[in-house]
């Protein structure tokens, strides 16, 4: 179910970026990661999203994703994070 939802979101947003923003070279990266969040953690997640630009100046997306996967106890093959 998540895969289908993300497929549709990526497809619709790509069409929008190409047609409305006129950015023909835009393309989503392959793959995705999805995490659930409890209601009690919502303020922390909102704060994280608001501070993402500053946060990612010191830690890249790949490193951040690896940290989240490990923290969540999710096993993964690093080759799929390339």
pLDDT tens digits, residue range 35-63?
A: 889 999 999 999 989 988 887 788 888 88
Say whether pLDDT at 82 is over 80.
Answer: no
Rg of the chain on CA atoms, in Å: 15
Q: Has this prediction a pTM greater than 0.85?
A: no
Q: Are 58 and 52 spatial neighbours (Cβ–Cβ below 8 Å)?
A: no
CA distance 4 to 32: 12
CA distance 64 to 67: 5
């Amino acid at each position: 179910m998540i895969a289908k939802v993300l497929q549709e979101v990526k497809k619709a947003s790509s069409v929008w970026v190409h047609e409305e923003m006129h950015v023909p070279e835009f393309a989503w990266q392959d793959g995705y990661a999805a995490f659930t969040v409890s209601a009690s953690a919502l303020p922390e997640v909102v704060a994280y999203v608001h501070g993402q630009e500053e946060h990612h100046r010191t830690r890249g997306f790949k490193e951040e994703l690896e940290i989240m996967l490990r923290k969540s106890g999710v096993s993964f093959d690093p080759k799929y994070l390339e």
